[in-house]
């Protein structure tokens, strides 16, 4: 059964969530294109979620996203609808595409809706017990020809396969947030996989115009394997710094070091807030269990969760308070878990951190810089000659980040340094890979 045939009936489980909704938009567009070419066939995209309320909001989100994509693809859509002489204006063509896309969609809360699906995308909570229960239920509902693509970001795929009894019909297909925008998909292939599913996964990546990077079936994979350890390094540095600079001050220092001094799109604690502190902890729990590494934990993370300071995002995309307090998505305060309150950012700490080298260029400026590598090499060379707290912390962090990346290859999580760098530059928007010659 080829991909076109499997696209005749597809289900997304957890469709109203942050990841599921993006996956739903991507798949709905592809199905609408197929329906336009094959008018005699029936196409169904089943969007399934436990929350009726969330499903109500899903329709508006999908419509807005599909319109946005259609506006950018109007030349292609004009060719697609060239036989429709009644469609003249761009808005008429866009509306026709929106109508065709929504004509394949059904929404509901029952897993039984997936009965005839030959392709199922699972994007529910990062909880292995829940995932296994849902996958087992789906396997009972569906036939043995159904393939499963799980969006898990850390749980070993072979483990899910064995526990859910899927007989090699599941692959890790880890989209990055937001799936509509992010080009990266981390593909995790268990040893038990059926070859047809591997072929389908590769073809799907081409259809969706994604960059597929392979990761081996080791808990955390490449992206979260690096991210969690990168975060734990910063958390451990806080423990070392807090006696001199206070807990909130140490968080501010390490967040600024990881953003400005390391030239990243956001600081490490802003990134953990974006992902969600509870999600960060869930990934650590999965990795601890499957890797047997008890160092993958931190008491400050536990304290934040106990105090219900979790970060994450609201449905409208705005940032919830976590390690940092936000106004209009910009940090304005730091949470002190010892005092159990937010405190204002102490800008006097910038003096103690020290100035950036004169040849520093921020992350955004380097995104489109044609001589980016040269600029970064010169900047980090200048940083090595700078005798400040900021330079010292940044260079140590840079070296640790590189070691984490190298260890992912050494321990068989990634196949190459190139794959590690590709995940961090494409999935996390870094302007350079962690494995580099800057240190």
Provide the b/e sequence for 270-292 (b: ≥16 CB within 10 Å). bbbbbbbbbbbbbbbebbeebbe
Residue 362 in 3-state DSSP?
coil
| Helices then strands, each counted (H, E), the chain | 18, 11
pLDDT category of residue 439 using cuts at 50, 70 and 90: confident
Rg (C-alpha) for the chain, rounded Å, is 23
Distance linking the first and last C-alpha atoms of the chain: 50
pLDDT, position 12: 98
Query: Mean of the pLDDT values across residues 83-106?
Result: 93
Category of 293 on φ-ψ map: left (φ > 0), alpha (ψ -120 to 50) or beta: beta
pLDDT at 344 over 90: yes
Specify the pLDDT at position 85: 87
Q: How far is CA 435 from the centre of its chain?
A: 21
pTM given for the model: 0.94
Residue written as tokens 């329709």? Answer: 59
Q: Mean pLDDT over residues 114-129, rounded?
A: 96
Question: Mean pLDDT, the chain, as a whole number?
Answer: 95
Over residues 26-32, the mean pLDDT reads 95
Same CATH fold, 223-427 and 3-215? no
E-only strand ranges, 282-356:
324-327, 330-336, 341-344
Domain boundaries, the chain: 3-215, 223-427
Q: Are strands 341-344 and 330-336 parallel, antiparallel or unpaired?
A: antiparallel
The CA-based angle 57-15-174, given to 5 degrees, is 135
The verdict on domain 3-215 having CATH code 3.40.50.720 is: yes
Looking at residues 171-183, what average pLDDT do you find?
94
Cα(7)–Cα(9) distance, rounded to whole angstroms?
A: 5
Biggest alpha carbon distance in the chain? 73
Q: Using a CB cutoff of 8 Å and minimum separation of 24, what contacts does 302-307 make?
A: 303/337, 304/277, 304/335, 304/337, 305/277, 305/278, 305/281, 307/337, 307/340
Give the separation between CA 398 and CA 439, rounded to whole angstroms: 7
**Model pLDDT for residues 44-70, shown as the tens digit of each residue:** 999 999 988 889 889 999 999 999 999
Beta-carbon count within 10 A of 351 CB:
9
Residue 273 has pLDDT above 80, yes or no: yes
pLDDT above 90 (res 115): yes
Residue 263: its pLDDT value, please?
98
What pLDDT score was predicted for residue 302?
97
Q: Residue 296: helix, strand or coil by DSSP?
A: coil
Residue 328, pLDDT score: 85
Which among 267, 226, 183, 281 is positioned nearest to 407, based on CA atoms? 226
Where does 223-427 sit in CATH, by number?
A: 1.10.1040.10
pLDDT tier for residue 315 given thresholds of 50, 70 and 90: confident
């Amino acid at each position: 059964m080829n991909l076109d045939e499997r696209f005749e009936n597809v289900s997304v489980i957890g469709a109203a969530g942050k990841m599921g909704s993006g996956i739903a938009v991507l798949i709905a567009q592809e199905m609408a294109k197929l329906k336009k070419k094959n008018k005699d066939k029936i196409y169904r995209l089943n969007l399934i979620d436990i929350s009726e309320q969330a499903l109500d909001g899903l329709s508006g989100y999908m419509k807005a996203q599909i319109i946005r994509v259609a506006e950018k693809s109007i030349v292609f859509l004009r060719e697609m609808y060239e036989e429709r002489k009644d469609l003249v204006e761009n808005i008429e063509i866009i509306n026709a595409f929106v109508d065709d896309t929504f004509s394949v969609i059904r929404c509901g809360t029952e897993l039984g809706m997936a009965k005839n699906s030959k392709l199922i995308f699972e994007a529910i909570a990062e909880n292995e017990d829940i995932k296994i229960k849902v996958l087992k239920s789906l396997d009972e509902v569906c036939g043995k020809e159904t393939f499963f693509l799980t969006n898990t970001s850390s749980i070993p795929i072979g483990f899910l396969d064995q526990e859910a009894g899927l007989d090699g019909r599941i692959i890790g297909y880890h989209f990055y947030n937001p799936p509509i925008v992010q080009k990266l998909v981390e593909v995790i292939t268990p040893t038990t996989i059926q070859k047809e599913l591997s072929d389908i996964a590769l073809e799907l990546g081409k259809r969706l115009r994604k960059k597929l990077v392979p990761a081996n079936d080791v808990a955390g994979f490449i992206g979260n394997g690096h991210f969690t350890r990168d975060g734990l390094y910063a958390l451990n540095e806080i423990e070392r710094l807090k006696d001199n600079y206070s807990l909130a001050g140490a968080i501010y220092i390490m967040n600024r070091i990881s953003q400005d001094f390391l030239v990243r799109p956001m600081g490490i604690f802003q990134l953990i807030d974006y992902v969600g502190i509870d999600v960060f902890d869930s990934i650590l729990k999965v990795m601890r269990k499957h890797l047997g590494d008890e160092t993958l934990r931190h008491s400050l993370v536990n304290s934040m969760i106990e105090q219900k300071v979790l970060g994450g995002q609201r449905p409208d995309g705005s940032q919830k308070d976590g390690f940092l307090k936000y106004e209009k998505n910009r940090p304005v305060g730091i949470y002190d878990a010892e005092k159990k309150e937010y405190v204002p950012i102490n800008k006097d700490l910038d003096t103690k951190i020290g100035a950036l080298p004169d040849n520093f260029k921020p992350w955004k400026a380097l995104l489109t810089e044609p001589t980016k590598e040269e600029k970064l090499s010169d900047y980090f060379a200048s940083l090595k000659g700078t005798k400040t707290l900021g330079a010292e912390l940044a260079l140590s962090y840079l070296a640790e980040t590189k070691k984490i990346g190298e260890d992912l290859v050494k321990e068989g999580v990634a196949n190459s340094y190139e794959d590690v760098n590709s995940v961090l530059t494409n999935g996390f928007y870094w302007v350079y890979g962690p494995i580099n010659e800057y240190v």
